[in-house]
Amino acid sequence: MSGALVKTLRMIKIEHTIFALPFALISMLVAAGGWPSWRIFLWIVVAMIGARSAAMAFNRLVDHHLDERNPRTAARELPRGELRRAPVWIFTGAMSLLLVVAAWQLNPLCLKLSPAALAVVLFYSLTKRFTVLSHFFLGLALAIAPVGAWLAVRGGFDAFPLWLGAGVLFWVAGFDIIYGCQDTEFDRRAGLHSVSAALGDRAALGVARLCHAATVIFFAAAGFSQQLGWPWTVGVLTVAALLAYEHWLVRGGDLRRIDQAFFQVNSWVGLVFLAFAVLALLWP
């Protein structure tokens, strides 16, 4: 079982939780006006791990046979036979339960909304079968992070997490459209829906640029709603520069550096923005 767990964690790339976690922490810190408590921080992190792990494991399960047919994904643990489906189903259920338990530990509203959050993060994996908007469903799944963290602290909605969540939605949709350009021809053969399969790679990259322009606007609006001052503005401009660099790496549809654009640049976006958010809260 321990071997299966290690393989499952490797399969779902647990380290990529870093994409959404900084935005949950930003929302948590702004909601609390600083550090809320170690208890709230702990359960927010547990909820994040549970939600993302359940979503990724479910994605690998429902895409198992598609991954077998796609040369880019055929070496994953399930298609290769390194993992059986049953342990992954157990893991998916356990991580789903972990999300609900974390929400229960936070407050009654989080608990009531946890099934809806779970439904969204799991439903994304099915969307590529029927809509070109699948990238935006993935963005919505990650946009839950800042909204949920705000609810964990405040127990109610506000403009800031909605603006921040909208920025995350378009940020994720944009980089997922870029990443999806690797599978354009496979998506077409398999009858799957993606922006690149529908429009071609060059047009898809144009859509991704528009998404990331929207990201910058929404992030700026989030800071304005809380009057977070110049450190937040500098953070937004830094994110804009990182996103511009990401698009420069894949300019003209050249996908040779797509891993650098997708994994390295996007991992820095959240971390850098978190650093400037902390500075905005600390600056008098």
Q: What confidence score (pLDDT) does residue 258 get?
A: 81
Q: What does the pLDDT look like over 217-252, one tens digit per residue?
A: 999 999 999 999 999 999 999 999 999 999 999 988
Q: What does the pLDDT look like over 17-49, one tens digit per residue?
A: 777 899 999 999 999 999 999 999 999 999 999
Task: Provide the whole-model pTM.
Answer: 0.94
CATH number at residue 78: 1.10.357.140
Among candidate residues 229, 164, 231, 162, the one with its CA nearest the CA of residue 20: 164
Q: What does the pLDDT look like over 5-23, one tens digit per residue?
A: 777 877 877 777 777 899 9
Q: Would you say residue 129 has pLDDT above 60? A: yes
Domains held by the chain: number: 1
pLDDT band, residue 284 (cuts 50/70/90): low
pLDDT band, residue 261 (cuts 50/70/90): confident
Q: Specify whether the backbone of 131 is left (phi greater than 0), alpha (psi in -120 to 50) or beta.
A: beta
What whole-number distance in Å separates Cα of residue 106 and Cα of residue 120? Answer: 20
Q: Would you say residue 2 has pLDDT above 70? A: no
Residue range of the domain that includes 91: 2-282
- Catalogue the E-assigned strands of 31-170: none
Q: What confidence score (pLDDT) does residue 12 get?
A: 79
Q: What confidence score (pLDDT) does residue 1 get?
A: 55
- Say how far residue 125 (Cα) sits from the centre of its chain: 13
